[in-house]
Amino acid sequence: MHILAIITGDYGRRHVDNIRAHGPDDWTVEVWQAPTALPPIVDYPEDHVPKTLPPADLILALHEHKGVAELIPEVARMTGAQAVIAPVDNVAWLPPGLANQLRGWLANIGVAAVFPKPFCSLTETHFNVRRHRQAYDHPLIREFARHFGRPNLRLTVDPQSRVITAAQVLRDACCGCAHHVGKALVGVPADEAEVQAGLAHHHYPCLASMGIDPDFSDTLMHVSGNLLKDNVAEQVKPFKRVQMIRPSGRVE
């Protein structure tokens, strides 16, 4: 698969570095550093993109400037891309109204698009969480989501000591957070795993927004962290100690 990542700064650069480090060997990842000095409304996108761009099957829109979103249809047209993944880790970079416009523009030229909010909610069948969950069906996006999206760790816990002895990353967050958390969990008791997973996620650090998102009444960083903690909690649950407390003076 040929991927073109549109980036403007460190957010996109971290994702690209992780894909190149942990993605399949037969993927190629090219980068276009998009301009950030754009007019309030981009009337002529072709004036703001290079005359040539490498062919691509899939575009990753990893920009940190909302005006760049208006260039994506032109980039898709130039590269021959069949699909776009435009994550929403910060609504300032891709506001809901602009995302809806972008979805329509891309549909008009036959390009599939998903807008996972946060990025690490993407799976092989759907994206987003809670009542905002949306299904999709596109082979290129599905192939990408096999490797990057909603974190999936396979934990090994010693049944005697109840300590995590290994953490295999089955699917990484695109930013690389799952690999970081997996390493941090080795040697951690099952009783402490959820808390330690949350701390490691925040200390990575997660790059999702810390502003309160109206869709969740929470920050996207916390939504992201809870996705990873839920994955850990499910696996350590059988190994956690359950304390029984007998109230003083209780009568049988």
Q: What is the pLDDT of residues 60-73, one digit of tens each?
A: 999 999 899 999 99
9 and 63 fall within a common domain: yes
pLDDT at 244 over 70: no
Question: Domain end: 147, 172, 197, which one?
Answer: 147
138 and 174 fall within a common domain: no
81 and 165 fall within a common domain: no
95 and 180 fall within a common domain: no
Short-list 128, 86, 84, 133, CA closest to 107 = 84
CA 162/CA 128 separation, integer angstroms: 33
Is 252 part of a structural domain of the chain? no
Is 246 part of a structural domain of the chain? no
85 and 32 fall within a common domain: yes
Is 221 part of a structural domain of the chain? yes
Mean pLDDT of 34-55: 85
Q: In the prediction, which pLDDT does 209 show?
A: 95
Question: Domain end: 84, 114, 147, which one?
Answer: 147
Q: How many structural domains comprise the chain?
A: 2
133 and 187 fall within a common domain: no
Q: How many CB atoms lie within 10 A of CB 131?
A: 7
Q: In the prediction, which pLDDT does 92 show?
A: 94
Is 245 part of a structural domain of the chain? no
Q: CA dist 211 to 32, 53, 208, 214, 221, Å?
A: 28, 35, 9, 9, 9
**pLDDT band of 130, cuts 50, 70, 90:** confident
Is 248 part of a structural domain of the chain? no
Mean pLDDT of 124-129: 96
74 and 6 fall within a common domain: yes
Short-list 164, 225, 218, CA closest to 198 = 225
Q: In the prediction, which pLDDT does 46 show?
A: 83
Q: How many CB atoms lie within 10 A of CB 103?
A: 17
121 and 6 fall within a common domain: yes
CA 97/CA 78 separation, integer angstroms: 24
pLDDT digits (tens, 9 = 90+) for 140-191: 999 999 999 999 999 999 999 999 999 999 999 999 999 999 999 999 999 9
**pLDDT band of 220, cuts 50, 70, 90:** very high
Is 249 part of a structural domain of the chain? no
**pLDDT band of 42, cuts 50, 70, 90:** confident
229 and 178 fall within a common domain: yes
122 and 173 fall within a common domain: no
Question: Domain end: 101, 122, 147, which one?
Answer: 147
pLDDT digits (tens, 9 = 90+) for 66-122: 899 999 999 999 999 999 999 999 999 999 999 999 999 999 999 999 999 999 999
Which domain does 84 fall in, by range? 2-147
